[in-house]
Amino acid sequence: MVIGASAGIGRAFALRVVKSGADVVLAARRADKLEEVLAEAGRGVSVVADVRNPADCARSAEVAAEALGQIDILLITSGYAPLKMFEDTTVDDWRDVFETNVIGVHEMIRVHLPLLAPSAIVAVLSSDSVRNPHTALGAYSCSKAALERCLVAWRLEHPGYRFSCVEVGGTVPTDFSSHFDPGVLSTALTEWLARSLVQARQMTPEAVADTLAGIFAAAIEQPDVSLESIVLKSPAPPMRV
């Protein structure tokens, strides 16, 4: 089950595992993009769902139950980031980012919990901005920090499943920055470069997806191996100003 399968890492992962022979349900909020992925994959089942809508979350679980019966891997890649200086971050910005990155993720896990196979993997994408704060991504990094603590709570109360936090560094191209204000991005990027937060080479969604698919495929065969934390980042040195 891939949540956020219409773009970026979610899209690349969905295509990768479908072509490797897995039975997959693809969920995303944009119906047109989701249909494009499904057409490229050649098979699979799709469901239009916005993680911020509890009814959509419940419907995605219903589709998964019918299509898969049980879930071996639940991957949640959906996310939202307002690029704003902290003093300009509004109440609506906070609501949007937490409803997407924390509450929506929690609800998706909660409704799919009855479908998880023994030792199932529940993997959620986090960000390197939690450990390495980025200017103008304050609300986003706060939400991802909260998300990581949510995974700890899930792990504590449901030790039979493998809840995995996947920290991902710079990856292009994705839709992550498609709505960023160019002026704020320019200011932020200057600061990111000055603090060596940008690698000279960045990862691609396909490279990240292939790596995760390999890790998860191996872990499925080793149910006694935990996957609490996975960190993926480019090995390239920081970009110099």
In a domain, 207, yes or no: yes
Give the pLDDT of residue 241.
66
DSSP 29: S
In a domain, 190, yes or no: yes
From the list 239, 161, 231, 167, the residue with the least C-alpha distance to 198 is 239
Give the pLDDT of residue 179.
86
Please tell me the pTM assigned to this model. Answer: 0.95
In a domain, 70, yes or no: yes
> Which residue type is seen at 79?
G
Give the pLDDT of residue 176.
81
What distance in Å separates the CA atoms of residue 46 and residue 28, rounded to the nearest whole number?
Answer: 8
For residue 131, the enclosing domain spans: 2-232
Q: What is the DSSP string of 55-87?
A: HHHHHHHHHHHHHHSSEEEEEE-------B-GG
Residues of the chain with pLDDT under 70: 241
pLDDT tens for 95-153 read 999 999 999 999 999 999 999 999 999 999 999 999 999 999 999 999 999 999 999 99
In a domain, 202, yes or no: yes
In a domain, 116, yes or no: yes
Give the pLDDT of residue 95.
98
In a domain, 80, yes or no: yes
- The number of distinct structural domains making up the chain is 1
How many other CB atoms sit within 10 Å of the CB of residue 45? Answer: 16
In a domain, 238, yes or no: no
Q: What CATH code is carried by the domain that includes residue 167?
A: 3.40.50.720
In a domain, 183, yes or no: yes
Indicate the burial class of 189 (C-beta count within 10 angstroms; 0-12, 13-18, 19 or more). middle
